Chain A
Amino acid sequence: MTNRYPGIRIWTILFCLLTIGLIISCEGLFPKATPDDQILDGPVKGLNETENLLFLRGDKAFNGRVFTTENGLGPLFVATSCGSCHPGDGKGHPFTTLTRFGQVDENDNQYLSMGGPQLQNRAIPGFVPEQIPAGATFSKFTPPANTGLGFLDAVSDANILSWVDTNDANGDGISGVPNWISMKNYVTPRLGSVEQNGKYIGRFGKKGATYDLLQQTATAYNQDIGITSTYEYLDTHTGVQFDPEISNETINDVVFYLKTLKAPVPRTENSEIFSGKQLFTTIGCNKCHRPEWNTGTSSIAALSNKTFYPYTDLLLHDMGLELDNGYTEGSAKTSEWKTPPLWGLGLSKNSQGGLYYLLHDGRARSIQEAILMHGGEGLQSKMMFLSLSEDEKKKLILFLESL
Chain B
Amino acid sequence: MTSLKLLVLCGLSLVSCDSFAQIDSTLLRRTSKDTTKMLLNMDAVYNRPFLSVGKSPVSVGGYVEANWQYFGTKGFTEGHQFQMRRLTLFVASGISKRIKFLSEIEFEDGTKEINIEFASVDFEFHPLLNFRGGVVMNPIGAFNQNHDGPKWEFIDRPVSATQLLPATWSNVGFGLYGKLYKENWVYAYEAYLTNGFDDKIISNAQNKTFLPATKQNRDRFEESFNGVPLVTAKVALRNKRIGELGLSYMGGVFNKFQSDGLILDKKRRLDVWAIDFNTVLPFFKTYIKTEWTLIHVDVPDTYGQQFGRKQAGGFADFIQPVARRSIFGFEQSVINAVCRLEYVDWNIGKFSETGGNIREDFFSIVPGVSWRPTSLTVIRLNYRYNWRTDILGNPPSKTAGFQFGFSSYF
Q: Which residues of A line the B interface, CB within 8 A?
A: 1-8, 10-12, 14-15, 18, 22, 29-34, 65-66, 68-70, 73, 79-81, 84, 87-88, 93-95, 97, 121-129, 350-355
8 A–B pairs (Cβ distance < 8 Å), ordered by A = A7-B284, A18-B367, A29-B402, A32-B74, A68-B200, A68-B204, A95-B391, A125-B303
Contact with A along B288-330 (1 / 0, CB 8 A): 0000000000001011111000000000000011111100000
B302 touching A95, Cβ below 8 Å: no
Closest to B204 in A: A68
- Is B351 among interface residues, defined by CB-CB distance under 8 A? yes
Q: 10 tightest CB-CB pairs across the interface, nearest first?
A: A33-B75, A7-B284, A30-B72, A31-B398, A353-B392, A94-B353, A15-B337, A68-B203, A353-B393, A123-B302
A95 touching B354, Cβ below 8 Å: yes
Interface residues of B in 90-137 (CB under 8 A from A): none
Bound complex: CA A393 to CA B273 (Å): 54
B286 touching A69, Cβ below 8 Å: no
**Which residues of A are found within 8 Å of B323, using beta-carbon distances?**
1, 3, 8
Interface residues of B in 363-410 (CB under 8 A from A): 367, 369, 383, 385, 390-395, 398-402
**Which residues of B are found within 8 Å of A354, using beta-carbon distances?**
393-394
**Which residues of A are found within 8 Å of B75, using beta-carbon distances?**
30-34
Bound complex: CA A97 to CA B283 (Å): 57
B306 touching A6, Cβ below 8 Å: no
| Interface residue count on the B side (C-beta < 8 Å) | 54
Question: Closest CB-CB distance, B370 to chain A, in whole Å?
Answer: 12
Known contacts A30-B77, A32-B75, A122 near B324 by CB under 8 Å: no
Known contacts A80-B306, A351-B392, A31 near B284 by CB under 8 Å: no
Known contacts A2-B325, A31-B400, A11 near B283 by CB under 8 Å: no
CB within 8 A of B392: which of A7, A66, A68, A95? A95
Question: Closest CB-CB distance, A344 to chain B, in whole Å?
Answer: 14
Closest to A76 in B: B302
**Which residues of B are found within 8 Å of A123, using beta-carbon distances?**
300, 302-303
CB within 8 A of B302: which of A4, A7, A129? A129
CB within 8 A of A128: which of B76, B302, B305, B359? B302
Closest to A68 in B: B203
B400 touching A29, Cβ below 8 Å: yes
Bound complex: CA A69 to CA B265 (Å): 15
B392 touching A29, Cβ below 8 Å: no
- Is B1 among interface residues, defined by CB-CB distance under 8 A? no
Question: Closest CB-CB distance, A62 to chain B, in whole Å?
Answer: 13
Closest to A38 in B: B395
